[in-house]
Amino acid sequence: MYIAIEGVDTAGKSTQITQLQKSFENAVITKEPGGTPAGSMIRDIVLNTVLESQKAEFLLFLADRAEHIESVVRPNLDRLIISDRSVVSGIAYALVRGEISETAIIHMNRFATGGVYPDKVFLLQLSEKELRFRLSQKELDGIEIRGVEYLLDIQDALVKAAKLIGIELVIIDASRSIDAITKEILNNIKEAK
């Protein structure tokens, strides 16, 4: 089973993946972007460099996604794969940027993934107030610096992206306690097995 934890920055994706790892010690834990050596370099370019071309950023993410699917996901489809972000994020960010048509975004991501998508996606959703608070507590990266409204648009686009490619989406209130969120995710995984 291939699952992904989605949400805007500060929603608690990394925390939940750490929690899930305790319950699934043999799971493959990975992330997009950056789940491969090449992906790590791509992630560094996107998060720490101001690219003039939004198309270049989109294509870098597609390259990372293709490499990730081929070298991490596809060889482990017989195991539980837990990914921090997925194709859903890639589509959502591209939808919000608006430089590429929805149809092209879907087709290019299908090409990059070979049609391999998560079986289930968990979206950790934040209110505007909670997002503002969490961002105020940290140094912002190249994506976060785009602002709260941008991140809220991404959060809405994550829901749309999952629907566009037909992935089961479980929306979870990310302001709840860490343990309550983990329990909800665990229950959903166990039901799906």
Our measurement of the distance from residue 164's CA atom to the centroid of its chain's CA atoms, rounded to an integer in Å, reads 15
Residue 169 has φ and ψ, to the nearest 5°, of -120, 130
- For 10-57, how does the pLDDT look when each residue is reduced to its tens digit (9 = 90+)? 899 999 999 999 999 999 999 998 999 999 999 888 877 777 888 888
Q: What domain range is 86 assigned to? A: 2-192
Kindly report the CATH number assigned to the domain that includes residue 125. Answer: 3.40.50.300
- For 126-173, how does the pLDDT look when each residue is reduced to its tens digit (9 = 90+)? 999 998 888 777 776 556 667 788 899 999 999 999 999 999 999 999
Number of domains in the chain: 1
pTM (predicted TM-score): 0.91
